[in-house]
């Protein structure tokens, strides 16, 4: 039924948006990152900023921490996606969809595109708040575009990870717990403090995890810090994770059908 | 003879060492209602899930609306509708949105979709609540919406997996009426139920399922004839009358405390007349008379209550 791929995916996206309008997740997606932003800028920022750049203070830290906060927001979409997908899979409605002559992956693409739209909207709001508390990017429109691309890419990877978790979990509760560790990645990377300030073991782990090159790329694009090979690393990480999670999700989805 | 709507030969399904379906045969002629009757774990839902393309069979030849569910699932899906045991509605949406979702997924054009949604809302008495989220609905309303959603695509074969489980008696009657309406419209229905009355009320033919095999199959009337248990119950005003009646009638079951006699009978007019004639002959006054015909409950218990159901296959009227 691939003839209806676009039409059915659009229908499922519309279903997602109807649900999102009634029970918006955007509050959760924006709320926690904004609270963390305020906490880190106004409580820890004065001291931490001096460690980032001598005498930099709060202003320097607002710049430094914003990419980390954005990734924190992105990490939380995995949980929401997993919950949404698991809800569908554990309720009767999935059997209805599976016994209809529709483009089968549309059930998942509705979640993916819907969550991505909500994610990008949430990121725009978080960036807006960051600007208010002292985030001062010096990016050109092209750099903004590239940063948006990077954020989209990493969001997609995280959302597909959430889809796979939602399909793997047997209950909605476990679906909500499975992607939790992702929240730690911005902290165990270069999100809040530079990795070279950490002890060797931790520093190595932080250096080589996927979120660090993403945050370095965004920092470089928006603030003009050095990017180095981070952009390539980040793109490779996100693409690989998306593909991996896509196939993981697909095998879980098709396996369910045969059970 | 026209092609049957559903044809199943030698259907088998096992999960590991556990056999769920042990060689099932059934034929459902188009436009009829066929009931799969059996206790939990008999294999009813598994059968429905295989026929509706949710599960794959391990073995067997299957035809649903002329197509093979394994080889051409989309052709089967385009012809069927399934109302499962668990509510298959989106609780976050309203009834209208749920039905519109089905119209879109059935690829109806906008105008046709809207017409169909309005019609089904009215037919299932949901117009008033149409724009409230489904989470606020009662069990009966949910179930009506569930069936309405199944019908958006105008399916020729409808699977109803325990359509009235958990409903109150009034909602159950409403659901039965909706099912009869469907049949009148030429739809073929395969329904599973644990309620014997439901099969009796709705089905043209019934298969009694136990441990993955059919232990009896036939019309509800044929099944009832398979088992004894019919009797006429007589109640008397005094013990003296009971005594003379018992003498006149021959072999009976008597209960002196309740002042009743049970006379074996097939429930027919002839046997009833014979009993009344004998009572007249003995000039006995009867206070109350009731005729008890065996119902599907008796059939069910007799057929599935025994440890080895296979031993009963000789009683299969086919």
pTM reported for the whole predicted model: 0.81
CA terminus-to-terminus distance, chain B: 19
**Interchain contact B183–A (C-beta under 8 A):** no
* CB-CB contact of B42 with B19 (8 Å): no
The answer, yes or no, to whether residue A194 has pLDDT greater than 80, is yes
Rounded Cα distance, A220 and A236, in Å: 17
Do A51 and A198 contact (CB within 8 A), yes or no? no
Whether A255 contacts chain B with CB within 8 A = no
A14 in contact with B, Cβ within 8 Å: yes
Question: Looking at the domain B231-292, which fold is it?
Answer: Alpha-Beta Plaits (3.30.70)
Identify all chain A residues contacting B145, using CB atoms and an 8 Å cutoff.
Answer: none
B74 part of contact set with chain A, CB < 8 Å: yes
Percent of chain A with pLDDT over 70: 98
The secondary structure of B265-299 as a DSSP string is --S-HHHHHHHHHHHHHTT---SEEEEE---HHHH
Q: What is the pLDDT of residues A114-153, one digit of tens each?
A: 999 999 999 999 999 999 999 999 999 999 999 999 999 9
Q: Where are the alpha helices (DSSP H) in B161-268?
A: 169-184, 196-202, 220-225, 239-249
Hey, what are B139's tokens?
């069990």
Per-residue buried b or exposed e for A146-176, using 16+ beta carbons within 10 Å of the residue's own CB: bbeebbebbbbbbbbbbbbbbbbbeebeebb
pLDDT digits (tens, 9 = 90+) for B149-176: 999 999 999 999 998 888 888 888 988 9
Would you give the DSSP letter of residue B86? Answer: S
A252 contacts: CB under 8 Å, gap ≥ 6: A164, A167, A168
Q: Name the residue among B85, B93, B104 with its Cβ closest to that of A19.
A: B93
For the beta carbon of residue A46, count every other beta carbon within 10 angstroms. Answer: 14
A48/A151: higher pLDDT = A151
Share of chain B above pLDDT 70, in %: 91
Residue A74 has pLDDT above 70, yes or no: yes
Beta-sheet pairing, B260-264 with B231-235: antiparallel
* CATH number, domain B6-225: 3.40.50.300
Q: Tokens 């015909």, residue?
A: B293
User: How many residue contacts between A and B have a Cβ separation below 8 Å?
Assistant: 70
The proportion of chain B whose per-residue pLDDT surpasses 90, expressed as a percent, equals 49
Distance of alpha carbon B107 from the chain centroid:
32
- Nearest C-alpha in A relative to B87: A92
Q: Kindly list the residues from chain A whose CB atom is less than 8 angstroms away from the CB atom of residue B80.
A: 99
The answer to whether B92 contacts A18, with C-beta atoms less than 8 Å apart, is yes
* pLDDT at residue B308 greater than cutoff 70: no
Answer yes or no: is pLDDT of A259 > 70: no
Are B101 and A15 in contact (CB < 8 Å)?
Answer: yes
**Measured between alpha carbons, how far is residue B125 from residues B55, B87, B174, B189 in Å?**
33, 18, 10, 22
**How confident is the model over B4-56, as pLDDT tens digits?**
899 999 999 998 889 999 999 999 999 999 999 888 888 999 999 999 999 99
Give, in order, the Cα–Cα distances in Å from A214 to each of A29, A208, A234. Answer: 19, 11, 5
Alpha-carbon span B246 to B255, nearest angstrom: 11
ipTM at complex level? 0.85
Residues 6+ apart with CB under 8 A from A168: A175, A178, A248, A252
Rounded to a whole number of angstroms, the distance between the first and last alpha carbons of chain A is 21
Q: Where in chain B are the domains?
A: 6-225, 231-292
HSE (side-chain half, CA atoms, 13 Å) at B178: 26
Q: Are B316 and B220 in contact (CB under 8 A)?
A: no
């Amino acid at each position: 039924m691939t003839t209806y791929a676009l039409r059915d995916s659009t229908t499922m996206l519309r279903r997602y948006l109807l649900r999102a309008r009634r029970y918006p997740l955007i509050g959760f997606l924006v709320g926690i990152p904004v609270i963390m932003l305020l906490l880190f800028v106004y409580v820890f920022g004065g001291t931490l900023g001096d460690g980032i750049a001598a005498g930099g203070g709060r202003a320097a830290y607002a710049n430094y921490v914003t990419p980390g906060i954005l990734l924190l927001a992105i990490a939380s979409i995995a949980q929401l996606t997993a919950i949404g997908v698991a809800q569908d899979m554990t309720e009767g409605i999935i059997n209805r969809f599976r016994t209809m002559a529709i483009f089968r992956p549309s059930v998942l693409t509705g979640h993916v595109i819907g969550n991505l739209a909500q994610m990008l909207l949430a990121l725009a709001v978080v960036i807006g708040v960051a600007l208010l508390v002292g985030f001062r990017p010096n990016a050109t429109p092209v750099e903004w575009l590239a940063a948006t691309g990077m954020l989209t890419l990493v969001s997609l990877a995280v959302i597909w990870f959430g889809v796979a978790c939602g399909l793997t979990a047997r209950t909605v509760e476990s679906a909500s717990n499975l992607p939790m560790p992702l929240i730690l990645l911005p902290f165990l990377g270069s999100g809040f403090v530079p990795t070279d300030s950490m002890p060797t073991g931790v520093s190595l782990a932080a250096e080589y995890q996927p979120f660090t090159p993403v945050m370095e790329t965004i920092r470089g694009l928006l603030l003009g810090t050095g990017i180095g090979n981070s952009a390539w690393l980040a793109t490779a990480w996100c693409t690989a994770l998306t593909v991996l999670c896509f196939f993981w999700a697909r095998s879980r989805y098709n396996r369910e059908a045969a059970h | 003879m026209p092609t049957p709507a559903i044809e199943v030969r030698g259907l088998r399904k096992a999960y590991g060492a556990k056999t769920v379906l042990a060689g099932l045969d059934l034929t459902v002629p188009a436009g009829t209602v066929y009931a799969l009757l059996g206790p939990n774990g008999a294999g009813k839902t598994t059968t429905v899930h295989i026929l509706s393309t949710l599960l794959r069979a391990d073995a067997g030849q299957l035809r649903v609306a002329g197509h093979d569910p394994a080889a051409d699932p989309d052709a089967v899906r385009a012809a069927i509708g399934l109302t499962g045991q668990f509510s298959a509605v989106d609780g976050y949406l309203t009834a209208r949105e749920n039905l519109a979702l089905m119209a879109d997924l059935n690829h109806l054009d906008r105008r046709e979709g809207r017409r169909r949604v309005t019609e089904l809302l009215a037919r299932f008495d949901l117009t008033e609540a149409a724009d409230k989220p489904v989470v606020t609905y009662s069990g009966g309303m949910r179930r009506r919406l569930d069936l309405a959603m199944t019908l958006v695509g105008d399916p020729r074969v409808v699977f109803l997996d325990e359509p009235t489980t958990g409903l109150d008696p009034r909602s159950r009657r409403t659901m039965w009426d909706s099912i009869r309406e469907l049949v009148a419209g030429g739809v073929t229905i395969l329904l599973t139920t644990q309620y014997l009355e439901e099969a009796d009320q709705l089905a043209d033919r019934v298969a009694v399922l136990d441990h993955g095999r059919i232990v009896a199959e036939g019309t509800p009337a044929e099944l009832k004839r398979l088992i004894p248990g019919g009797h006429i119950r007589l109640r008397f005003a005094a013990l003296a009358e009971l005594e003379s009646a018992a003498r006149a009638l021959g072999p009976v079951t008597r209960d002196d405390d309740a002042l009743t006699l049970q006379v074996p009978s097939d429930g027919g007019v002839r046997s009833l007349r014979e009993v009344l004639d004998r009572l007249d002959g003995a000039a006995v006054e009867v206070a109350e008379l009731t005729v008890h015909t065996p119902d599907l409950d008796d059939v069910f218990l007799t057929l599935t209550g025994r440890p080895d159901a296979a031993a009963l296959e000789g009683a299969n009227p086919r």
